[in-house]
Amino acid sequence: MNIKKPEYIQTKRLTLRPIEIQDLEIIQNYSIDKEWHRFLDFHTKESVKEFVTKAINSPWEEHARFSIILDKKMIGGVGLYIEMKEKRAEIGYSLSKNYWGKGIIPEAVARVIEYGFEDLGLEKIFAQTDLRNTPSQGVMKKIGMTKEGIFRKHAIAQNKRRDIIYFSILKSEWKK
């Protein structure tokens, strides 16, 4: 399958375009907030720089990372970590705290899931989060994902082993 990086994709309120190096400073600035990174290790300037550089340099068919633009401002991101052989991807997302609670991530994630199923030919999209991260699980439920299960003490965040919950959606379930 020949996958072309799109210039952008659109939702009612948002433009989603591939991540660019100019987004680095914005992500570094919003992820430094203590509440923003309360379940994550991803917040130091170095860890954000490593993530952004890697995302930009990855082949699109392996990591399709969109930045979320609202009123010409970059405010967050949604990415697909793709395993094309399995027609499967993990979806990850985050948003500047100034914009929480407005349904922006559910709107962006729904569009990227549609892109994954319709344009990339994926058949399953899953997401994982710290069991304590109820806002993130709220997003997964709102977009119609089904709980897969809990992996006990599966990851290390902030120097402690954490329970991780998985959700997923199949192409056959999408838009039912």
Position 157: which residue type?
A
- Single out the residue of 86, 135, 146, 172 in contact with ligand COA (rule: CB under 6 A): 135
DSSP string, 49-99: HHHHHHHHHS-TTTEEEEEEEETTEEEEEEEEEEEGGGTEEEEEEEE-GGG
> Can residue 139 be called a binding residue for ligand COA (CB under 6 A)?
yes
User: Where do we find the tokens 């697909």?
Assistant: 80
Nearest distance in Å: CB 45, ligand COA: 17
Question: Using CB under 6 A as the criterion, what x/- string covers residues 32-71 for binding ligand COA?
Answer: ----x--x--------------------------------
Scan residues 92-111 and list those touching ligand COA (CB under 6 A): 93-95, 100-106
In angstroms, what is the minimal distance from the CB of 53 to ligand COA? 20
155 DSSP β-pair partners: 162
Strand ranges, E, within 22-70: 63-70
Considering only 2-10, 18-26, 131-139, 160-168, which stretch makes contact with ligand COA by CB under 6 A?
Answer: 131-139
Contact of 93 with 77, CB cutoff 8 Å? yes
Specify whether the CB–CB gap between 75 and 27 falls below 8 A: no
Closest CB 9 distance from ligand COA, rounded Å: 17
Cα-trace Rg, the chain: 15
Q: How far is the CB of 30 from ligand COA (least distance, A)?
A: 9
For residue 70 the two structure tokens come to 């609202």
Residues that bind ligand COA (CB under 6 A): 36, 39, 93-95, 100-106, 129, 133-136, 138-139, 142
